[in-house]
Amino acid sequence: MTTLSQERATATKEIALQMKGISKHFGPVQALDKVGLTVRAGTVHALVGENGAGKSTLMKILAGVYQPDEGTIEIHGKRCVFTNPAQALVSGVSMIYQELDLAEHLTVAENIFLGAEPMGPVRFMVDRKNIVTRAKELAECFNFDIEPTAKVEDLSTGDCQIVEILKALRRKATIIVMDEPTSALSEREVQRLFEVVRQLRARGLSVVYISHRLEEIVGLADEVTILRDGKLVHSGPMTALDIPKIVHHMVGRELTDYFPSGTAEIGDVLVRVSNLNSEAGAFDISFEIRRGEIAGMAGLVGAGRTEVAKTIFGVNPKTSGQIVVAEDELNIRSPADAISNGVALLTEDRKRTGLCLQLPCSWNITLPNLVEIGMRHVIRPSKEKLIAEGVASQIAIRWASPQAPADSLSGGNQQKLLIARWLLANSKFMIFDEPTRGIDVGAKTEVYTLLNKLAEQGKAILFISSELPELFGIADKILVMRRGKLVGNLVTSQTSPEEVMHLAAVGKN
Amino acid sequence: MNKMVRQLLPFGTLTLIICILSALKPDSFLTAENILNVLSRSSVNGIIAMGMTAVIISAGIDLSVGSMMALCGMVAGYVMLKLGGAHPQVGSMVAGTIAGIATGIACGLLNGTLITKLKLPPFIVTLGTMSAFRGISYVMNNGKMYDAPTYTYLGMGDVLGIPVCVLIFAVIVAAAGFILRYTRLGRYTYAIGSNREAAFHAGVNVDINLTAIYTLTGLVVGIAAMIATSRTVSAQPTAGISLELDIIASVVIGGASLAGGRGTVSGTIIGTLLISFLRNGCTLLGISTNVQLVVIGAIIIGAVALDQMARSRAEAGRS
């Protein structure tokens, strides 16, 4: 049995990184609860878990970005305390984030040596030739195919990752953390990245590999650590696990009754999307939502859920397909068109695309609705304030006053401000993209109650979420997206989180 | 509390300057004549500053206003000369005025269109048009001015003792205040400046609104240009050189943020008057114009620095 001997070989390798009993809380939220992670030299260690399971927090602690409340970190047997990212770098920990962090206008070689430029005979003069030669040597040493004099802005995402890895190697990193490295890569680039990762492993480096794409992990990782709700649920060799077992560990919690049950009556078809395509990354999407129905939409980060929402709402142009709401085919070319046709979108990023943070709460509520509340020509501030207060009281927004700036509110109340905006708009079809992201548990339940209430009013709701429990708690059916396509349309009561996760991560069998 | 202090700061400074000047030079400063004189002289800057306030609230900038003013004046002067000869009568003066204001509207529309259609930063577009408008002004009469000896009403006339230009200033202030506070255009201006993406996702037609703001700025520049032409009874291609900087300064002293989303008409008026009274006071006290420049520079930096300090303290207090 080769796998067994491999396993034995892995088990005897020296421990490169040992994190023990790491806890971290943010306000009342316990992000990590006594989590451990043991990574051996010359192995690839997968770190998996649902969104919010604590993977990023754990890695940020390793990188010195956060300090743990308790717990210890040992690197090659040496106890380390990182109070800033620079210390982690010196100890040989390098992070490669999803958002690559390169100076676009500089060359590959200049990026690799950024901040550590070899100096020429004249002080303060960078020795350009030397940089190029040394970058070349480094790349050749690992069999990476990259041109040191190329400008980073001309490189593909895959090449940029190689540059990041070379940067890490130049710093003599022994532990390289990759956070969702394949989410923006083409299939060919993914294969090349795997080759690079295997090269690193062969040289005795440790790679901590974070990915939602379970099939990748199964083929690549030697060991795996699974987190759920900030706790360690499983850690061990990859050979002992398969995808269904990993999925079970990831989602295996009881669905508690903090999801209020809805009583909406499901009526006739209100929304019909057929063969919708957009350049931004939605391919041939078709689904229907009935009056009073909550359709959940599941999928991994980058699966194209937000692209579908944005295309329906007119943010991204659609290249083909139909959107029919209440028997009318809509020709939506901008959010303004969508809103006037009764379509609403609560965007996933309330700070970037939702609120005007420095403006008063009441202004944020009425912004898309000034015409509807009879203020097409003249705004009457006192009446506007009354209207805003009226809709705010329906969903219990806590603010100092309607004139207070939106950024003086808590995350949950900011989200409610945006919900209030669409309540006032009285839309027929409402799309909620990650409405519970970054808000506390109490506010989440309020959001669920509200979704149910809206369904009871006969609206059609598309509820996009990365958290399976809330989809299963609230949605009548679940649409599953993977790589821009709809791969599942399941009735909630007849499916399981395992099935949905499997579809989202691996697609149809 | 901090917010109050912040808003009262420019006003307090203005009051302080007026008090000091009144005490130092009671006979020459605190006279109706001098005050009206200062107001008249502020009117050109103040009128343009109303447009600039909206532009800055929308997170934009218009560097072309000074050159645009010269161009509007030159077009008006040209029309008056062609229609009315060396001593234009009322008819040709009205035609010239309309042509001048229309030029402003066209220039503003051009700025707005370039910014929204070519998706270029307002700084770049208006830097370019600043140069182009100035160039056209020089080309029109080979660098020479147009005389308009009879064109005196707007700049020097009065109604019941109040200068006409001050009345026009008042009307434009009222209109700007109304638009920013009570119309959708005004509300959308704040929204675009505060968070353009969010405004777009809330159904605001960003392009149309931005174009409208720059066009209205062109309109007020056109009106200001006619007052300036009348005050010098001539259209000069060199009019308004570096005027844009004075105007941006008065808007910023008035509490607007160059990052957008913040600014008021009342603040801008205070900023404009502050600069004007400071100039006037320095002159009355016999301080040279060169030193005045230094004083005004210090006030701009000081006002914004104090504002920043108050803001960061307010934010620290919140979190």
Q: Where are chain A's structural domains?
A: 1-92+174-254, 93-171, 268-342+427-509, 351-426
Interatomic CA distance for residues B272 and B248, integer angstroms: 10
Our CA-based measurement puts residue A132 at a distance from the nearest CA of chain B, in whole angstroms, of 36
Chain segment A21-38, per-residue pLDDT in tens: 999 987 767 889 999 999
Q: What is the pLDDT of residue B3?
A: 56
Is B251 part of any domain?
no
Q: What is the pLDDT of residue B217?
A: 98
Statement: residue B9 has pLDDT above 90: no
Q: Which one of A332, A351, A353, A369 would you mutate to disrupt binding with B, by most B Cβ within 10 Å of its Cβ?
A: A353
Interatomic CA distance for residues A281 and A304, integer angstroms: 6
Interatomic CA distance for residues B206 and B52, integer angstroms: 18
Q: How many domains does chain B have?
A: 1
Q: What is the mean pLDDT of chain A?
A: 87
Is B9 part of any domain?
no
Interatomic CA distance for residues A287 and A308, integer angstroms: 11
Q: Model confidence at A1, in pLDDT bands (50, 70, 90)?
A: very low
Contact list in B for residue A367 (CB cut-off 8 A) is 187, 191, 199, 202-204
DSSP B266: H
Interatomic CA distance for residues A4 and B157, integer angstroms: 101
Q: What is the pLDDT of residue A436?
A: 84
Residue of A319, A326, A354, A318 whose CA lies nearest to A342: A326
Is B309 part of any domain?
no
Q: What is the pLDDT of residue A509?
A: 61
Contact list in B for residue A355 (CB cut-off 8 A) is 195, 198
Chain segment B13-47, per-residue pLDDT in tens: 778 878 887 788 778 777 888 888 888 889 999 99
Those residues whose C-beta lies under 8 Å from the C-beta of residue B259, and which sit 6 or more positions away, are B59, B193
Q: What is the mean pLDDT of chain B?
A: 90
| Cα dihedral B158, B162, B165, B169 sign | negative
Given a contact cutoff of 8 angstroms between Cβ atoms, the answer to whether B146 and B72 are in contact is no
Interatomic CA distance for residues A189 and A192, integer angstroms: 5
Domain that holds residue B198: 38-240
Statement: residue A92 has pLDDT above 60: yes
Q: Which of A353, A359, A381 sits opposite B201 (nearest CB)?
A: A353
Name the residue in chain A with its Cα closest to that of B318.
Answer: A408
Q: What is the pLDDT of residue B1?
A: 41
Residue of A255, A253, A266, A263 whose CA lies nearest to A491: A266
Cβ contact A359–B261 (<8 Å): yes
Statement: residue B238 has pLDDT above 80: yes
Chain A contact residues (CB < 8 Å to B): 313, 315, 334-336, 338-340, 345, 347, 352-359, 363, 367-368, 370-371, 375-381, 408, 421
Domains A1-92+174-254 and A268-342+427-509 are alike in CATH topology: yes
Ranking A211-220, A253-262, B121-130, B225-234 by mean pLDDT, the lowest is A253-262
Residue A42 identity:
G
**Burial status of residue A219 (CB atoms within 10 A of its CB: 0-12, 13-18, 19 or more):** exposed
Q: Model confidence at B5, in pLDDT bands (50, 70, 90)?
A: low
Q: What is the pLDDT of residue A331?
A: 92
Contact list in B for residue A380 (CB cut-off 8 A) is 182
Q: Which one of B116, B192, B201, B307 would you mutate to disrupt binding with A, by most A Cβ within 10 Å of its Cβ?
A: B201
Chain segment A251-263, per-residue pLDDT in tens: 775 445 567 777 7
Q: Which one of B179, B195, B204, B209 would you mutate to disrupt binding with A, by most A Cβ within 10 Å of its Cβ?
A: B195
Mean per-residue pLDDT, A265-294: 92
CATH number for domain A268-342+427-509, candidates 3.30.2090.10, 2.40.128.20, 3.40.50.300, 3.40.1110.10: 3.40.50.300
- Helix boundaries (H) for A221-324: 243-251, 305-312
Q: What is the pLDDT of residue A2?
A: 45
Statement: residue A241 has pLDDT above 70: yes
Cβ contact B183–A334 (<8 Å): no
Q: Model confidence at A283, in pLDDT bands (50, 70, 90)?
A: very high
B195 touching chain A per CB within 8 A:
yes
B200 touching chain A per CB within 8 A:
yes
| Chain A, chain B: beta-carbon pairs less than 8 Å apart | 78
Q: What is the pLDDT of residue B2?
A: 52
Is B164 part of any domain?
yes
Our CA-based measurement puts residue A384 at a distance from the nearest CA of chain B, in whole angstroms, of 11
Q: Which of A354, A377, A380 sits opposite B198 (nearest CB)?
A: A354
CATH number for domain A1-92+174-254, candidates 3.30.360.10, 3.40.50.150, 3.40.50.300, 3.30.413.10: 3.40.50.300
Contact list in A for residue B262 (CB cut-off 8 A) is 358
Q: What is the ipTM of this complex?
A: 0.88
Is B306 part of any domain?
no
Chain segment B306-315, per-residue pLDDT in tens: 777 777 766 5
Our CA-based measurement puts residue A82 at a distance from the nearest CA of chain B, in whole angstroms, of 26
Chain segment A425-478, per-residue pLDDT in tens: 989 999 999 998 767 666 778 889 889 999 999 999 999 998 888 899 899 999
The enclosing domain of B199 has a CATH number of 1.10.3470.10
Cβ contact B190–A363 (<8 Å): yes
Is B117 part of any domain?
yes
Chain segment A94-123, per-residue pLDDT in tens: 998 877 788 888 999 999 988 777 766 666
